[in-house]
Structure formats: C-alpha cells, structure tokens
Structure 1
Amino acid sequence: MVNRDGFEKRATAEPGDDATDLSEASSPTARMLAWSKNSAAYRLARRMMSERELADAITRKAKSKFEGITQAQLAALAANAVAFGRSMKALDDENYAQLRSASAARSGKSVRAVARKLAEKGIERAIIEEALAEMDELRAAVVYARKKAFGPFRRPDVDADDKRWGKEIASFARQGFGFELAKRVIEMDRDEAEEMLLRPI
C-alpha cells in the first residue's frame, strides 16, 4: 500500500515492531526510484561528477523533496542514481580523476592539492595515485610562477632580494609544492621556463 506521501507501508505491524522500525524498513517507491534516475540524468548531462558527488546531490535533494523520507530510502535512492549513471557510461571515477588532474595541472595546481581535491570528491586512493602518476608537477609549478609573476616571470622593476625570494617560496608552499621544486622554478631563466610551458601535458 502507498500512502499520500508516496511511501510504501505495511498494513499491519509484526509483533514487536514500532513505528520507527516500520519507517526504517520501508523501501523507496517506484516514483522515488524513477525520480532518482531522472535527477541523475539531469545532473550528469550538465557536468562531470564523481560517484560521491552524485550520491550526495541526490541525497540532499531527496531530503527536501520527500517529506519524512528515511535514511534507508535515501541510501537506496543514492545507490540507484549511481548505478544508473554507471549503466549510461556517464559516471566513471577513473576517467573523472584523469580529466580533473590534467585540468588542474594546466592551471598550475600541485600534486598535493589535486590529490586533496580528488579525495574530497570521494575518489578512491588507488585511483588518485594512478591519475597523478603521469602529472607533470614541474610544468604545473612553472604555470603557477607565470600566474604570480614569480621567478623567471618576475617583473623587471621587482627586486629579487632575500625577502622577495622568501615570499615566493612561501607562496609555492601554500599551494602544496615542495621546497626543492619551488626553488628550481624560481631560479630558472626565462627561456627555460618558456620552453617548459611548451611541453605537452
């Protein structure tokens, strides 16, 4: 039997059951499951997502859409959405990690920063390590230097004194770049840095 809120419920309770047990044992209705697929399709058509991102988005939306929905139903809807995304070849954490890491490298992000971001998106450690194995962090550091006008890209009117050097090293460190890598980039000449940027990603 389905009540007016769209939930399935049993007509009578088993001995020892209480209202909470009945609620937690209920499964999503067909309408809920259909909604989770449609919502997943809509979200994945707009942008690439990781499995956790999609599951979290479906869970948040379902909480506001279906009054009184249980944790069991929320988990089932999230799992249904993820399974649908996989079946449509629109959800692939390995591909997601590869594309995100390549994009981050082009924008001057460090390996550490990219790894942290992918972990926040729910990507498994093994997938993250594989995606970052081919990342050219030296080139990424040069991109960052160009953005900040550091090292070989420093303006002619800026003094390259110890204070400036320390400021640039500290900025690299805040972005997750190691000391030796930052030092190497800062001490590059302009021609070497420009050549580095021409390397394929």
Structure 2
Amino acid sequence: MNEITPIEQVTERMLTWGRNSALFRLNQRDMSEHELFVALKRKAGTKFPGITEECAQTLAQQTVLYCSELRLLNDNNYAEVKVRSGVNSGNSRKRIAMKLQEKGIDVEKANNALEEVDDARAAIIYCRKRAFGPFRRGDADQARHNKELSGLARQGFPFDLSKKVLGLSFEDANDVLDGHLTLD
C-alpha cells in the first residue's frame, strides 16, 4: 500500500503554490488577512497530502506576510470598504461589526472603520429596499407597522431610531439620504 509520508517542512514549491493561490484568490475578491490564512491553510491540506498542521500554518503565515509586503492585503482598507458597502446595503452598525468579526478583523480596526457609520442613513436605505415607512405604498395598519419595526430590529437598529425612521415623510427621508437633514 502507498503510505503518505508526513510533510514537516515548507518547501520552495509549496511557497510558490501558496503565492500563486493567494494571488489568484485576491484577484477574484478582496479578503482579510484571516480569511486568506484560513483558506490557504485548508487548501494546503488537500493540495499536499500528509502536510502537518504546523507546516500548513507556517505556509499560510508566510504567504499572508508575502501578500502584506506587496500591499495586496490591508485589513484597515478591507474594513473601510466593508463598512461603506454595509451602510449602502442598509445594514446597521451592529450587523456590520458582526460581519467584520466573522471576517477576522480585530476589534480596534473594526471600531476605527465604524466611527463614521450613520445608522439613520442605513436604516432609511433598508426601509427603501423593503418599502417600509416613508417608502411604503399606501397606508399601514398596526400589524404592518409592527412588521416594519420588527424587521428593523432584526437588522440591529435601535428601537427609538426605528420609530423615527418609520415616522419620516418621503421628502424628509430623501433629505437624510442626500445629507441635507440629520436625525437627532
């Protein structure tokens, strides 16, 4: 029978594969350092049968370091892009923070990126997407109003902000989106 011998040392061939794999992945989409590390470590196990856990970890670490030196990875920029995208998608500060935590962004970098998040703007964008509050067609009964409030709560928006947003007129909501009006 063919027995797989354990690979305990990173070879030049492995490093070349790791760099090429990382460049391909980063060309496909943006990744955090943690995401790339986990993906490379997992893939190294299938690419090189018999690779030890320590060897796979070393390979992934060296590849992430290589990409960071080339400035292909930057968790600060990644967090800022994710925050901007999250707000423009109608996600709350809480939801965006959870997403960044899932992606392996440390708390300090996430907090720096989340400083300028305007939950009111994000809530109005969410309402526009779902035709809630000022963007609803027709009048709302109590059941519809409760459904809209619970939808905003599930997105992570505070209750008082949700009530304010749902009570806005169409014109005021658009003024908030355009930056002409603020909700206090």
TM-score normalised per structure 1: 0.84
Output the CA distance in 1 between the equivalents of 2:14 and 2:102.
28
**1:28 aligns to what SS in structure 2?**
coil
Output the CA distance in 2 between the equivalents of 1:117 and 1:199.
26
2:171 to 183, 187, 191: 191
2:46 to 43, 53, 64: 64
C-alpha displacement at 1:194, in angstroms? 1.0
Q: How many residues are aligned here?
A: 177
Equivalence for 1:86? 68
Q: Does 1:52 align with 2:28?
A: no
C-alpha displacement at 1:166, in angstroms? 0.9
C-alpha displacement at 1:189, in angstroms? 0.7
Equivalence for 2:106? 124
> Which runs of structure 1 show a deviation greater than 4 angstroms over 4 or more consecutive aligned residues?
none
Output the CA distance in 1 between the equivalents of 2:179 and 2:33.
32
- Residue pair 1:145, 1:151 contacting (<8 A) in 2 also: yes
Output the CA distance in 1 between the equivalents of 2:67 and 2:179.
35
- Residue pair 1:40, 1:84 contacting (<8 A) in 2 also: no
- The AA in structure 2 aligned to 1:124 is D
C-alpha displacement at 1:199, in angstroms? 2.6
Q: Which entry has the higher C-alpha Rg, 1 or 2?
A: 1
Equivalence for 2:129? 147
TM-score normalised per structure 2: 0.92
Q: Percent sequence identity over matched residues?
A: 44
- The AA in structure 1 aligned to 2:73 is L
1:1-201 → structure 2 map (5 Å cutoff)? 23=6, 26-156=8-138, 159-199=139-179
- The AA in structure 2 aligned to 1:123 is I
**1:43 aligns to what SS in structure 2?**
helix
**Structure 1 residues without counterparts, runs of 5 or longer:** 8-22
Q: CA RMSD in A?
A: 1.6
Output the CA distance in 1 between the equivalents of 2:99 and 2:53.
27
**1:116 aligns to what SS in structure 2?**
helix
- Residue pair 1:27, 1:73 contacting (<8 A) in 2 also: yes
**Structure 2 residues without counterparts, runs of 5 or longer:** none
Output the CA distance in 2 between the equivalents of 1:30 and 1:148.
53
